Structure 1
């Protein structure tokens, strides 16, 4: 199989894992009825999953850093398939919770290895495009995973929704074993050498930027349906269509972001908060009008998913000597950003109203932009001056 297909197979695995993580959101009402539990208890299936990722991500990646990448990818998907199979036939809520939490420990391991494996499977100048293709799996999983799982659960049964994820993970696992060549770790880095990247202050500025960009994204996106329903006055079916439109445009955004990053990581990252900020302002001032909002949603989808790969590339670019560990940091702090953004957006919504959640996202973008500026000015002043001169020249 051509190396160009490796990223596609890995991306399907990403979809299966994201669908396992977030797809359950679409079946929470059925879970509460089936196991006779409260909504808050059912919510633990999502929140504990994310908490395990955030806390244990880097440590689990370090633990498996010397294992053949092909074996890691296939092994993690096998565990996820078994987990979903167990969830489908869980006799009670406690067993279901255990089957949900256990694979969460390996979630960041797959992500970390997936990004590294995709980048290393192609020439260096095409690595960002390969990673962008993997991020397509994230986009599809995030945007379509929930409605697909919800549809299967409603049309068939709760068990069927878990079996759907199990089948996706199992098929991808077999595809990796059959078609992806062995990917041994040629030179295993010591734990100390990988952890050493954490002493770099510039890395922490990149981590803060990535975390804040993720927070900016989810401070608004988490309340996508709420905003369209309350502010734009769209109905449930229309909102579902908008969600699909958002996801479809997001796939295009991944591809374009990969191209831009391959030309200049710094320029792309600098301009990203500004572009997303403009989108947010358009949402705020034109969000009450249906037709303009549809156009904005298309642009929002493109820019939204671009933020995933841009923040990942910005963070890992400062720790290229330990790529898998750096990717695990992105997964962990990215999840932290999601939690931070969702919580902040919820506060703005409850205290100021649905229309005002936009300002939560804008606030995080301003903080991210400050971190980017500090990183460039403090640790790469020459590059900062070169960029400034180029921008002035191009404007003239």
Structure 2
């Protein structure tokens, strides 16, 4: 663990959060400008969507591999290199004259996203005593939520007011500012304690690790499968106007940030209890959407509560996998990123199929199905943890801290 004073720890977390924000901003920011990309480059909207789907696929593929490979190098140098790649590729995207060049410039940095994000989580956890690690990670996780919340509307607004190129340059500027923050305000960080690749990959032999991975895939798929079609649901089922849907999605994102803070505190106090109680509460929100989604008041209330729970789920996902492999933090964080991205893909596919078959009103059902399956795996893993005396002592320590 890094021994750092309170003020220095706060500065460290701020720099790490800013970098995560700029990277997630790059990933999600283009969602709102896909129609402009389609027109500018003369491609179908489905082809423009590859800028998002292939980015996520690249993250899922590289997540378990690249953080492990880069863990042997000095962490500050690696983080600077990753932010440099993001900055340069966004500049290339801004001036790309063909869609293949744009697509290449989008996919290349995606492979390195898990390197920075996993290091940020590991450094945040190591900057404080173990009992406070989930709370420290939650602060960095806010960068993820902020990138998702602010990325789409800000980039869309810039593109609408100025140009597509200006929007891409904004993404590059955000990465550049983060790079400078790391350069000037992050202390020299040595490489992580040398651990052989074999010893880290060996954690995949544990049933608990696989229970955690699959549980996170299903839990994240439950949330983002529904979120992927939430605007369609609110418009077609609830009957809200497009302007109100946009405002509600923004409020959902802000609730996400609040959920990050709540989740970090809850995990620090009693992780097992929080994880076990989480699925029934989220399930109740989906039932509210399923039975009352046609009425504006219940639908709006459910979305806002769901936003808080989705923020909590982000912390649960990261904690649940890294706690299963504490001796391999970089590798575990890479697995977390892969699991969440895979969950998003699976969840969106399942919920999309349900909508095609049963209509938009069936959307919460897709979330419920994945949540139920995920809850079984979370409970099985929790049962393993309760039988582990070491884990039990750690939980007792957290409960009184």
Aligned to 1:265: 271
Aligned to 1:304: 310
Aligned to 1:254: 260
Paired residues of 1:69 and 1:117 also in contact (CA < 8 A): no
Structure 1, residues 206-252: CA drift from partner, whole Å, max 9, x if none? 11111110111112111111111011111111111101111111111
Partner Cα distance (2:57, 2:384) in 1: 33
TM-score (norm 1): 0.94
Within the candidate set 227, 234, 238, 1:232 is matched to 238
Paired residues of 1:14 and 1:134 also in contact (CA < 8 A): yes
Rate the CA distance shift 1:117–1:12 in 2: closer, same or farther, 3 A. same
Paired residues of 2:351 and 2:363 also in contact (CA < 8 A): yes
Within the candidate set 353, 356, 371, 1:350 is matched to 356
Partner Cα distance (1:214, 1:254) in 2: 14
Partner Cα distance (1:186, 1:17) in 2: 22
TM-superposed CA distance for 1:368, in Å, is: 1.0
Partner Cα distance (1:378, 1:246) in 2: 34
Aligned to 2:93: 87
Structure 1, residues 70-124: CA drift from partner, whole Å, max 9, x if none? 2222221111011111100011111111111110110111111010011112232
- The runs of 5 or more residues in structure 1 that have no matched partner are 387-396
TM-superposed CA distance for 1:382, in Å, is: 6.7
Aligned to 1:2: 8
Partner Cα distance (2:191, 2:270) in 1: 29
Paired residues of 2:289 and 2:298 also in contact (CA < 8 A): no
Partner Cα distance (1:380, 1:326) in 2: 21
CA RMSD of aligned residues (A): 1.6
TM-superposed CA distance for 1:27, in Å, is: 0.8
TM-superposed CA distance for 1:378, in Å, is: 4.9
Q: In structure 2, the residue corresponding to 1:37 is in which secondary structure?
A: coil
Aligned to 1:285: 291
The within-5 A match list for 1:3-42 is 3-42=9-48
2:145 aligned with 1:110, yes or no?
Answer: no
Q: In structure 1, the residue corresponding to 2:63 is in which secondary structure?
A: helix
Aligned to 2:63: 57
Aligned to 2:161: 155
Runs (4+) of structure 1 moved beyond 6 Å?
A: none
Partner Cα distance (1:327, 1:27) in 2: 30
Q: In structure 1, the residue corresponding to 2:128 is in which secondary structure?
A: coil
Rate the CA distance shift 1:234–1:182 in 2: closer, same or farther, 3 A. same
Partner Cα distance (1:306, 1:242) in 2: 19
Aligned to 1:389: none
**Residues 46-55 or 320-329, more deviating:** 46-55
Paired residues of 2:75 and 2:192 also in contact (CA < 8 A): no
2:387 aligned with 1:371, yes or no?
Answer: no
Paired residues of 2:31 and 2:52 also in contact (CA < 8 A): yes
Aligned to 1:392: none
TM-score (norm 2): 0.93
